[in-house]
Amino acid sequence: MRLFEAIRSAFSAILANALRSLLTMLGIVIGVAAVIAVVAIGSGARNLVDQQIRSLGANLAIVTPGNVTQGGARLGAGAASSLTDDDAEAIRREIDGVVAAAPFVQGGAQVVAGGSNWGTRIYGIDGDWFSAREWDVAEGRTFDPEEIRRGDIVILLGQTVARNLFGDEDPIDQIVRVRNVPFRVIGVMASKGQSAFGQDQDDVIFVPLDAGRRRVIGRNYAKDGSVGSIFVKFANESDIEPGIESISDLLRQRHRITAEQEDDFSIRNLTEIANTASASANTLSMLLAAVAAVSLLVGGIGIMNIMLVSVTERTREIGLRLAVGARPRDILSQFLIEATTLSTIGGALGIALGVGAAYLVAQLAGWPSLVSTNAILMAAGFSALVGIFFGFYPAQRAAKLDPIEALRRE
C-alpha cells in the first residue's frame, strides 16, 4: 500500500467517525494548549523579572554600610555611614575590572514647583551614577563635572516627578524647591519602569552629591565625605566575584579593620540576584509545563483506546485487505498513520488554542506572555510522538491478525 493511499485511508476513517475522533483528540488538544499557554506565560514572567532586576544595571555590585559598634553596643547594619567618597575613588582606581564606582546618598523629600508638589525619593550622586545604572536623560543634559565638584543646586527629574509637577509643560530651566532650596531643572531622565521590588524607578530626583549632602540630606551624613552606598559596575560578569573579594580586602585595609573584627560594610552581587530570580522563574515555568504535559499522556491513552476499538470494528476489512495481497506492514502503516494523524491534528488545534489562551490571559490579567517558536515545535513534535507511541500496539495487533480468522468474524 502506498503512503498516499494509507494517509487517504486514515483521513477517511477519521471523517467516518468525526465526533468520536474529535473527542479522542480532545486530550491532545487540551494537553498541547496547556503546555503552550503555561510556557508562554512563564517565559513572559521570567523575562519581566529579568528586565526589572537588570534595570538596576548589568554587572553590578553594591557596597552598603555594615554593622557599627559604638561603646560596646552593636548598632546594626546601616545604623551609621562607614563609607566615603574616598572609598569609591579607591575602588575605581585600584580594583581591576571596575568601570564605574558611584557613591550616593538618598532620602525622601517634598518637591514644590509653582502650585504643585510631590513627595518623592532624592538621590545625591556623582558622574559615575549614569554609567553604573545605565541610565540616560530623555530631555536636557546630565550634570557636568564642575557642577558635581562645586555641588551646584541643579536637579534632574524622573519621568513620574516631571509629569506630576509640570504635566505637559517643558520642565527644563524651571525652578523647583526641595526643602526650601531652589534647584534649577537641567534634565528629565529616561523611563526605567517598575523595579523587581514593585517600586516606580521613575519617581525620583537627582542632585549633585555634595549638594545633596550639604543642602538636603546633610543631617543623615554628618561625617565629612560620607555616603550611603556605592554602586560598583564591572566590565564583565566574570570580573564580579574576584572584584568583590578585592574590594573587601581594600575596604578592610582602608577602615583599619583587624582580623578579629567584623566588616563595617557589606557587598551584594546584584547580577547573582538577577540570575537566581531568573532561574527560579524558569524552574517554576518548567514545573507547570510538566504538570500540563500529563494531559498529553491521558490523550495518548485515549488514542490507544479508540484505535483498539477501531481494530475490533474493522476486523473483516483488515482480513479482506490481507486476503487480497496487503502485507502486515501495510496494515501496520495504515493504523499507525491513522493514530499519528489523530494526534497531529489534535496538536495543531492545541497550538492554536494555546497561543490564543496565552494572549488572552496577557490582555485580561495584564500578565506578560512570550510564545516561543521552540515551544510550538516541541509541542507539535511531542503530539506526533504520542500518536506513534500509543498507536503502535493497536497497529501491531491489527497487522498480526490471521486473514482467515478475521474474515470469519461478524
More confident residue, 219 or 15: 15
Which segment of 78-82, 353-357, 360-364 scores lowest on mean pLDDT? Answer: 78-82
More confident residue, 375 or 255: 255
168-172, 281-285, 306-310, 372-376, range with greatest mean pLDDT:
168-172
What is the percent of the chain where pLDDT is above 70? 84
Q: For the residues 264-292, what does the mean pLDDT come to?
A: 73
pLDDT score at 225 = 77
Q: For the residues 81-89, what does the mean pLDDT come to?
A: 86
pLDDT score at 309 = 81
CA 169, chain centre distance (Å): 35
What is the percent of the chain where pLDDT is above 90? 19
- End-to-end alpha-carbon separation of the chain, Å? 25
Amino acid residing at 38 = V
Contact call for residues 401 and 332 (beta carbons, < 8 A): no
152-161, 249-258, 265-274, range with greatest mean pLDDT:
152-161
Residue 188 pLDDT greater than 50, yes or no: yes
Distance (Å, whole) CA 167 – CA 161:
9
Residue 372 pLDDT greater than 70, yes or no: yes
Distance (Å, whole) CA 142 – CA 124:
13
Indicate the SS3 state at residue 247: helix
1-10, 246-255, 321-330, range with greatest mean pLDDT:
246-255
Residue 70 pLDDT greater than 60, yes or no: no
C-alpha cell of 151? 555641588
Closest among 181, 209, 257, 196 to 57, alpha carbons compared: 196
pLDDT score at 409 = 64
Residue 230 CA: distances (Å) to CA of 122, 152, 220: 16, 21, 16
Closest among 154, 156, 132, 150 to 61, alpha carbons compared: 132
Indicate the SS3 state at residue 283: helix
> In which band, very low, low, confident or very high, does the pLDDT at 286 lie, cut at 50, 70 and 90?
confident
pLDDT score at 382 = 79
Which segment of 97-101, 264-268, 327-331, 364-368 scores lowest on mean pLDDT? Answer: 364-368
pLDDT score at 266 = 87
Residue 367 pLDDT greater than 90, yes or no: no
pLDDT score at 73 = 47
Instruction: Give per-residue pLDDT as tens, 375-400.
Output: 788 778 878 888 888 888 888 887 78
Contact call for residues 216 and 178 (beta carbons, < 8 A): yes
Q: Give me the chain's average pLDDT, please.
A: 81
More confident residue, 77 or 57: 57
Instruction: Give per-residue pLDDT as tens, 100-121.
Output: 999 999 888 899 998 889 999 9
> In which band, very low, low, confident or very high, does the pLDDT at 68 lie, cut at 50, 70 and 90?
low
Residue 84 pLDDT greater than 70, yes or no: yes
Distance (Å, whole) CA 278 – CA 280:
5
Q: For the residues 171-175, what does the mean pLDDT come to?
A: 92
